[in-house]
């Protein structure tokens, strides 16, 4: 039965339908795997009963000869940023300790409608602010991967969807939800040798997802294969009147239209992404990725995204500004932590927020408050919004010459926990991921190979607005050629 956790979601779907195994067997296998993997600190809450109840419904439906919903009997891990009715939803923060929403996020409700169950809530950087999962109030997630040097040093799974990434890599969830504000799906996917896609901004409803930076936040799936991501994304996406930025468009049949034949497609290679400080093995993998896409019929073209170097500083104005505004709601009045302070209402607010937020969240609230404050708003925030327009324009021009863009996902392989302490150095992790976020474009990371230490490296595909299909298809072409079958050796 342990092999069940080695199967893809597509294989689980087929196995349930053919009767090769029951949904109950799937839920039991995964519940046991989750309970046996607590050393990873990937789950903040385990919900084995939820997974079993969903399995029972699927098995009953099958026994009654009913048509099964697409994800019937598939248990998933849910990032702790998604509101789940009656189940702790803390965004990895002390300030939301014990918060149990009386409502369900649209994305998780969509997954439930599609038949999926829940294995538990997944650890993450506090309010999705971090690239290493070290800012979580629950402590860092430990990657299932280890370096080959024999040191057994704890490695980060990346962030902010670090619990999500570690869960898929360790086979303690067949698929998970993530969210991506500036790389939070793609960088951890790359660090853990899995696949993750952020769709076009607006494809997935933000309703019921704890807000970080509203003009950037977007949910997406993380799983073992491109096909599994397509399956999950079809279930997660869709118009939602409760989110004013939700796209009122039908959800494409991404899975049915998967094709790794890229004849006639042009792959853009942005010259500005060739950075000297990036390790040679990452640039070598990038070249290999291009060869794989050429082999699939695509034609490489050099493109220019001239404002690339300004993307990170633009992001680190806009995202903290929006965060400082969004996080104003944590005031100790309506939900979450309250610390009384010295008596006045203002002192209660300040004491609550001082005790409830961690260092990185406070740093970003401070930056955001500063760049929005009187006298600085135009110099910082409006300026960043103007540069953001130029970054979007760069991509629009590039997509006149190509159909999809290939880059590395991250400028390094996963690093050790505690190894990166300078905030600015941490921010640089998302140098390749952030531009697509600022432009609202769909982007995916697929595993490409291992570095010299045996740690995974990812390749990054960016598509034009609403063209998730080309991103998925190019990802599939890479997946078929990379032959990435490496799995972390089980030590937990």
Residues 428-447 binding another protein (CB under 8 A) are 438-440
Closer to another protein at the Cβ: 331 or 479? Answer: 331
* 121 in active site: no
HSE at residue 166, side-chain half, CA atoms within 13 A, is 37
Q: Could you say which of 8, 215, 283, 304 contacts another protein (CB under 8 A)?
A: 215
Q: Which entry of 22, 131, 184, 412 is annotated as an active-site residue?
A: 184
Q: How far is CA 205 from CA 85, 189, 220, 249, 345, in A?
A: 17, 22, 10, 12, 34
Q: Considering beta carbons, is residue 313 or 416 the nearer one to another protein?
A: 313
Q: Which residues between 136 and 175 bind another protein (CB under 8 A)?
A: none
Q: From the CB of 82, what's the least distance to another protein, in Å?
A: 16
Phi, psi for residue 79 in degrees, rounded to 5: -55, 140
Which residue number, 108 or 246, has a Cβ lying nearer to another protein?
246
- How many Å apart are CA 294 and CA 284, to the nearest integer? 15
Paired strand residues for 219: 179
Here the tokens at position 117 are 């169950």
**305/283 Cα distance (integer angstroms):** 18
280 or 374: whose CB is closer to another protein? 374
In the annotation, is 79 catalytic?
yes
Quote the least distance from Cβ 446 to another protein, whole Å. Answer: 24
266-270 and 299-303: which strand pairing?
parallel
Q: Shortest gap between Cβ of 189 and another protein (angstroms)?
A: 22
Question: In the structure encoding, which two tokens stand for residue 77, read together?
Answer: 């891990």
Q: Is 331 in the site for another protein (CB under 8 A)?
A: yes
Q: Which stretch binds another protein (CB under 8 A): 95-103, 189-197, 289-297, 403-411?
A: 95-103
Judge contact between 136 and 101, C-beta under 8 A: no
Q: Which segment (16-24, 157-165, 346-354, 445-453) binds another protein by CB under 8 A?
A: 346-354
Scanning residues 221 to 260, which ones bind another protein (CB under 8 A)? 241, 244-245, 247-248
Interface with another protein in residues 191-210 (CB under 8 A): 200-202
The count of residues interacting with another protein (CB under 8 A) is 71
Contact between 329 and another protein per CB under 8 A: no
386 binds another protein (CB under 8 A): yes
**Does residue 471 bind another protein (CB under 8 A)?**
no
In the complex, the smallest distance separating the C-beta of residue 177 from another protein, rounded to whole angstroms, is: 21
Of the candidates 100, 288, 481, 487, which one interacts with another protein according to CB under 8 A? 100
* Given 60, 259, 291, 347, the residue binding another protein (CB under 8 A): 347
Q: Which is nearer to another protein, 100 or 288 (CB)?
A: 100
Query: Taking CB under 8 A as the criterion, which residues in 20-39 touch another protein?
Result: none
**Catalytic annotation, pick one of 160, 161, 205, 445:** 160
Applying CB under 8 A, which part among 160-168, 220-228, 291-299, 304-312 lies near another protein? 304-312
Strands 117-122 and 195-198, sheet pairing: unpaired
Interacting residue with another protein among 365, 446, 471, 477 (CB under 8 A): 365
Question: Binding marks (x or -) toward another protein, 1..20, rule CB under 8 A?
Answer: --------------------
Quick one: 38 or 386, whose CB is closer to another protein?
Answer: 386
Could you tell me the smallest distance in angstroms from the CB atom of residue 45 to another protein?
16
Residue 413, interface with another protein (CB under 8 A)?
Answer: no
CB of 260 to another protein, least distance (A): 27
Q: Provide the mask over 388-407, with x wherever binding to another protein is found by CB under 8 A and - wherever it is not.
A: xxx-x---------------
- Active-site annotation, residues: 79, 160, 184
């Amino acid at each position: 039965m342990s092999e069940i956790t080695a199967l893809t979601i597509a294989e689980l779907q087929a196995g349930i339908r053919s009767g090769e195994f029951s949904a109950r067997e799937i839920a039991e296998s995964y519940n046991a795997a989750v309970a046996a993997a607590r050393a990873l600190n990937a789950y903040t809450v385990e919900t084995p009963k939820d997974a079993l109840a969903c399995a029972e419904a699927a098995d009953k439906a099958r026994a009654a000869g009913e048509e099964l919903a697409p994800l019937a009997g598939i248990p998933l891990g849910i990032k702790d940023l998604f509101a789940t009715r009656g189940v702790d939803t803390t965004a990895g923060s002390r300030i939301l300790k014990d918060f149990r929403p009386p409502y369900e996020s649209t994305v998780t409700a969509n997954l439930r409608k599609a038949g999926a169950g829940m294995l538990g809530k997944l650890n993450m950087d506090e309010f999705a602010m971090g690239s290493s999962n070290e800012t979580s109030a629950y402590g860092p997630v430990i990657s299932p991967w280890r370096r080959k040097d024999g040191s057994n040093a704890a490695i980060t799974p990346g962030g902010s969807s670090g619990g999500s990434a570690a869960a898929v890599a360790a086979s303690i969830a067949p698929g998970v939800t993530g969210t991506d504000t500036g790389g939070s799906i793609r960088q951890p996917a790359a660090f853990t040798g899995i696949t993750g896609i952020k769709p076009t901004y607006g494809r997935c409803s933000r309703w019921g997802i704890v807000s970080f930076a509203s003009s950037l936040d977007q949910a997406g799936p993380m799983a073992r294969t491109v096909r599994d991501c397509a399956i999950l994304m079809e279930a997660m996406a869709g118009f939602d009147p409760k989110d004013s930025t939700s796209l009122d468009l039908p959800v494409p049949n991404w899975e049915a239209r998967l094709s790794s034949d890229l004849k006639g497609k042009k792959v853009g290679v942005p010259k500005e992404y060739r950075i000297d400080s990036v390790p040679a093995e990452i640039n070598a993998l990038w070249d290999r990725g291009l060869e794989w896409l050429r082999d699939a019929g695509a034609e490489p073209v050099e493109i220019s995204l001239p404002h690339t170097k300004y993307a990170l500083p633009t992001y680190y104005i806009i995202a903290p500004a929006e965060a400082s505004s969004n996080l104003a709601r944590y005031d100790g009045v309506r939900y979450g932590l309250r610390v009384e302070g010295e008596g006045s209402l203002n002192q209660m607010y300040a004491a609550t927020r001082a005790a409830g937020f961690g260092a990185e969240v406070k740093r970003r609230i401070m930056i955001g408050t500063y760049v929005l404050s009187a006298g600085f708003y135009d110099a910082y925030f409006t300026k960043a919004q103007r540069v953001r327009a130029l970054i979007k324009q760069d991509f629009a021009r590039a997509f006149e010459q190509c159909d999809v863009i290939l880059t590395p996902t991250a400028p390094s392989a996963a690093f050790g926990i505690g190894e990166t302490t300078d905030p600015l150095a941490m921010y640089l992790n998302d140098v390749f991921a952030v531009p697509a976020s600022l432009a609202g474009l769909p982007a995916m990371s697929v595993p490409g190979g291992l570095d010299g230490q045996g740690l995974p490296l990812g390749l990054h595909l960016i598509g034009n607005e609403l063209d998730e299909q080309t991103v998925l298809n190019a990802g599939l072409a890479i997946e078929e050629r990379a032959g990435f079958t490496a799995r972390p050796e089980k030590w937990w």
